[in-house]
Structure formats: C-alpha cells, structure tokens
Chains A and B, each alone.
Chain A
Amino acid sequence: MRRRAAFSEHDMPAPSDDEALAIAFAAHDRTAFDRAYRAYAGLLYSAAYNVLGNGQEAQDCVHDALVRIWRSPQAYSPARGTLRSFLVVCVRNEAISRRRRHGRRMQMEERLAAQPPEHDQLPDSDPIERDRVRSALAGLPVEQRVPLELAYYQDKTHREIASELRQPLGTVKSRIALGLRKLAQALQPAAQADRR
C-alpha cells in the first residue's frame, strides 16, 4: 500500500510498481508479461487449483488462459482495474469453463474420492485459511448466501441458479452481486490480519 502521507498535496505520486507493470502489460511489453507472471503465478495457479482440484489441470488452465490473454492484445486495459484481479478472474473463468466441460462436481468428487490428495505437491493448508471464505459466506443473509455459493463453488450460471431456486432472474442477479460485495467486505479483517 502506498502511503499518502509520504507525499505533499502538490506532489503527484509516481505510479506504483503494480501500475507501471499494468501499463507495460497493456502495451504488450513481453518483459511485463514475465514480471506479471513472477508476481502473480502463485495466485493464478491457486485460483485454478481451487476450482479444479488437480495440479496438472490447474497448470493447463493457467497456461491456456495466459496464452489467450497475450494473443488478444486488447484484452486488458488499465481503465478496467488492476492487472492482478483481471488475471485472477481470467484464469478462474477458464478453470470454471473447463470444469463445466468436464462434467462438474460429480466427476471431480469421484476422482478425489478415488485418489489420495497430492501431498507431494501441495502441503495441507492451514484449516483457518481453508475455511475462512466459507465462514465469511456463512455470515451472509441466506437469500444472498445460497445463490452466491452456487455461483462461486458450483460454477452455475445465473440462469441455472434462478431455475434451481425458482426465483426471478433479476432477483438472483442482484442478490449474487450484493452477496459478492458483502463477502469481500466480510473478508477484509482477515486480510488485514494477514498483512500484519
């Protein structure tokens, strides 16, 4: 985090490293791609892994998503927000598409039941870390929590969620959007504790 106090009111703060990286990435600077990868690789791989539950598929997913982004030069613009969140969402959306293609939960749960977890690759995560998104979700009002869980964990489209919950599409959409905002706010204290 940039400290505002370090600048007088008349000083224009220099772009942060993240901003400079985002601008260079948008300009299709190949070295910016490498720097972005180094900065965000763990986050991107984890986002894919947490959806797909399989290390090899997560690697394929990160590979395909990043290659596709780089081949469509207009995909990212700094006007849209941070490069970091843009990349995470792209990778996560790619992971969700893959899981939809490969037949959703059932298949994955069968596979997970059949195989021991990949202990050599992934150490057991801290149970607090593992459960904190779920506990934050549990604090949301039920009408927001249920559709948001279906979207976030079960890769359902808003249309599928609306028909499953027998609610109007518009209602489901706004509840998911509101739920997401509240979930992010509910997780702020945990993030601040992490930074300390």
Chain B
Amino acid sequence: MTGHISDEAALYALGSLSDEERAAVEAHVQACSSCAALLGAAEQDVAFVASMEPQHDAPPLLAGRIARTLDRRSTRQWQPFAALAAAFVIGLLPSAYFWQQNQSLHSAMSAQTAAIQRVASTPHRMAHFRGMNDRGSASVMYAPDGSWYVVLVRDVSKSLEVAWMHDGEKTMLGTAQAHDGVAMLYLPRSHRMDQLALMDGARTVAVADLSY
C-alpha cells in the first residue's frame, strides 16, 4: 500500500482483506495518525455491531490459561533484554551471560531480574578483582550497606567459586558458572563483606577489596 486508506478501513475491520492487504494496512497506520483514526472508527463500528449480537460469558478457566501462556513467554522474552540491561548497567557488553546456581530456569530468571533491578535502580559501588591477569576481568557491584552483591566475571572459560575472606578464613558463597565467556553470581541478602575472592578449586585467583 502506497497511499492512505479509505474503504480499506471498513474491510480491515470486517476481516475482508487478504493477509497481505491486512499487513499493509497495519504497517501504514503505524506511521499515519489520520488513517489510524479512520481505522479506529471502522473498528468501532464493527465492535459495536458485534456487541449487538448474542452475548455469552467467557469460560472462567480461559483467563488462567491466557495468563499462563503470557507469563511463560515473558520469562523467556525477558532473557535477552535482561542481558542487554545488565551489559548497559555494568558497563560490559557480553554476548550473553547466564546465572546458573543449580536453580530452575524460572527462579534463575527472577533472580537475574532482581539483580538487574537492584543494580539499575539503587545506588551501588563497584570494586575490581586484582590478579585476574589472562583470566579475563572481574568486578563486583554492591550496595553501600553491603545488603547485596553482584559478581560478574568476563572472558572466563571455567566456573569460579566466590568466597568471603575474613579473619584469615574463607567462607564459600557460591559458584559463578561460565557460559559464553561470562559468569555471574548474585547474592541478594547479605551483610557487609570487606574482601571477596574468586577461587579456582582451592586456589585463590583474584581478590577484591570493598569499601563502605
């Protein structure tokens, strides 16, 4: 379709266009507000006529069925957006990253979502891990009060443990598992920790000092 629509508005609303013609109308009204209004008026007429036909209640189970489909999809669709948001917020551009902490995909995605929302929406500090050398780069974003931490490791091929160093001891906090060269660990409920270490088995590969 090259020009504006006229009678096509009614035909669209009645369902009398071919698939190609319908797509052309949809594309045109995205960019043309006068044709959008014309289409809206025709839709109003058809919806009004349809509302004058016998009306029935929707089956009660239909709402839940639709909601389940939408929420299943939105979890999956969130993934690339979340990765992009994290890359933006954290200042890295990984091709992809995964949060893998022996959790189901669903809880993993909500944890990731929570991590990104926290980093994006609240004040945070950042510290870099020293000693990564040829193992890529790693940093930790954390709350000024130490209530949460996001550890992100870039350009790694293997999983690394994250440990809290205190009083000459190590407390293992979790595993940042590598996927496509990026690993992440989110600690949503935590306390103030002054020093974190990345561990490869028993060996300390990098240390970050955090200030509050």
Taking Cβ atoms with an 8 Å cutoff, the residues of A that contact B are 30, 33-34, 37-38, 41-47, 49-50, 55, 59, 62-63, 66-67, 70-71, 74, 77, 79-82, 84-86, 88-89, 92-93, 96-97, 121-122, 125-126, 129-130, 132-133, 136, 148, 151-152, 155-159, 161, 173-174, 176-177, 180-181, 183-184, 187, 190-191
Chain B interface, number of residues (Cβ within 8 angstroms): 51
In the complex, what distance in Å separates the CA atom of A130 from the CA atom of B56? Answer: 12
Contact with B48, one of A80, A132, A191 (Cβ below 8 angstroms): A191
Taking Cβ atoms with an 8 Å cutoff, the residues of B that contact A are 6-19, 22, 29-30, 33, 36-37, 39-59, 62-63, 65-67, 69-70, 73-74, 77
Contact with B11, one of A44, A122, A173 (Cβ below 8 angstroms): A173
A93 touches B15 (CB 8 A): yes
Residues of B close to A173: CB separation below 8 A: 7-8, 11
Residues of A close to B19: CB separation below 8 A: 97
A85 touches B17 (CB 8 A): no
B56 touches A80 (CB 8 A): no
Q: Tell me whether A177 and B43 are in contact in the complex, defined as CB-CB below 8 angstroms, given that A50-B54, A79-B36, A92-B15 are known contacts.
A: no
Q: For the complex, would chain A's binding face be called helix, strand, loop or mixed by DSSP majority?
A: helix
For A34, give the chain B residue with the smallest CB separation: B67
Q: How far is the CB of A60 from chain B (nearest CB, A)?
A: 10
Q: Tell me whether A126 and B40 are in contact in the complex, defined as CB-CB below 8 angstroms, given that A67-B69, A177-B9 are known contacts.
A: no
Q: How far is the CB of B6 from chain A (nearest CB, A)?
A: 8
For A152, give the chain B residue with the smallest CB separation: B14
A37 touches B56 (CB 8 A): no
For B45, give the chain A residue with the smallest CB separation: A184
Residues of A close to B10: CB separation below 8 A: 176-177, 180-181
In the complex, what distance in Å separates the CA atom of A38 from the CA atom of B43? Answer: 20
B18 touches A157 (CB 8 A): yes
A88-B50, A155-B15 given; name 15 further pairs at CB < 8 Å. Answer: A42-B56, A42-B58, A70-B70, A82-B44, A85-B43, A86-B43, A89-B47, A129-B52, A129-B54, A130-B53, A136-B52, A157-B16, A173-B8, A176-B16, A180-B49
A130 touches B58 (CB 8 A): no
**Top 7 A-B residue pairs of the complex, sorted by shortest distance between their CB atoms:** A81-B40, A125-B54, A85-B47, A177-B10, A45-B58, A88-B47, A96-B15
In the complex, what distance in Å separates the CA atom of A20 from the CA atom of B59? Answer: 26
Q: How far is the CB of B81 from chain A (nearest CB, A)?
A: 12
Contact with B53, one of A71, A96, A133, A176 (Cβ below 8 angstroms): A133
Contact with A67, one of B6, B53, B66 (Cβ below 8 angstroms): B66
In the complex, what distance in Å separates the CA atom of A97 from the CA atom of B14? Answer: 11
Q: How far is the CB of A21 from chain B (nearest CB, A)?
A: 15
Can you list 8 A-B pairs, Cβ within 8 angstroms, ordered by A?
A: A30-B74, A43-B51, A59-B65, A67-B70, A74-B30, A81-B40, A89-B47, A97-B19
For B50, give the chain A residue with the smallest CB separation: A47
A161 touches B46 (CB 8 A): no
